[in-house]
Amino acid sequence: MDKESKVMNGSELLLGDQQEMRVRRETLGAQVYHLLRDRILRGEITGGSRLIQGPLSEEIGTSRIPVRDALKRLESDGLVMCDETGRYSVVQFSAEDAAEVYAIRRQLEPFAVELAAKAMTPEAMGEIKSLFNELSKAARRRQLEKFTEINTSFHMAIYEASGMVRLVRIIRGLYSGVPSLTPIVLEGRMARSQEEHAEVVNRLAARDGAGAARAMDRHIENAFAELRKSKRVTGESSQPGRVGR
């Protein structure tokens, strides 16, 4: 078994034409991407840690190409950054960074929710409810990465229902690269988050814009309060280092 097949749950893949090789590479890159993303979201790889392609490929059991592809995707997510020398490191957020992001969110997102309640269509409401149900499944199964991804889609579906394209673009920018600032990893937070989401959805369904805005504001406030209590933005976490030694 070669290095590449170790990541593929032990299954050996036969080399074929260029298209098959490309699919194989993309599949490996996706697996490495999800592995690293999950470790960053859980705080196992701390902010400021360097991600070195060679040692990482040896640790994971693959060549450098899937690792490089994964790092590029993580950079697009805003979770890692690449300096002028081509070295990657996990984006680091301070307590001040977190306070700033959440303060802006509390100004913009309740406003977008109130507008969405007024402009809500049956189709948009159906999509929001569907995403809410998917979040509930992910929460029950304790699927952190899936919950984080769907959570972003859920919030954006609500804000997009407002019809305010520029406002949605600004809010989306706040979500770029800040999954590491979510308290979702804390014990019980997914369940509590869903209770708060349910209040927002119920208010939206009733076209209660003011109530939906208050519910969203409480949701963001509670998330930040739990985040502050954690070690993720207090500087108490382990010191940044090298990953893939």
Give the model's pLDDT for residue 244: 54
Give the model's pLDDT for residue 182: 66
Listing DSSP states for 177-219 in one string gives T-GGG--TTSTTHHHHHHHHHHHHHHHHHTT-HHHHHHHHHHH
Low-confidence ranges of the chain (pLDDT < 50): 1, 3-17, 19-21, 23, 234-240, 245
Q: Are the C-beta atoms of residues 28 and 39 closer than 8 Å to each other?
A: no
Give the model's pLDDT for residue 239: 44
Give the model's pLDDT for residue 215: 98
Give the model's pLDDT for residue 243: 57
Phi, psi at 88, each rounded to 5°:
-100, 145
pTM assigned to the model: 0.69
Give the model's pLDDT for residue 14: 39
Give the model's pLDDT for residue 237: 40
Give the model's pLDDT for residue 185: 66
Q: Are the C-beta atoms of residues 232 and 102 closer than 8 Å to each other?
A: no
| Residue located via tokens 């890692």 | 80
All domains in the chain, ordered by first residue? 3-92 (1.10.10.10), 95-229 (1.20.120.530)
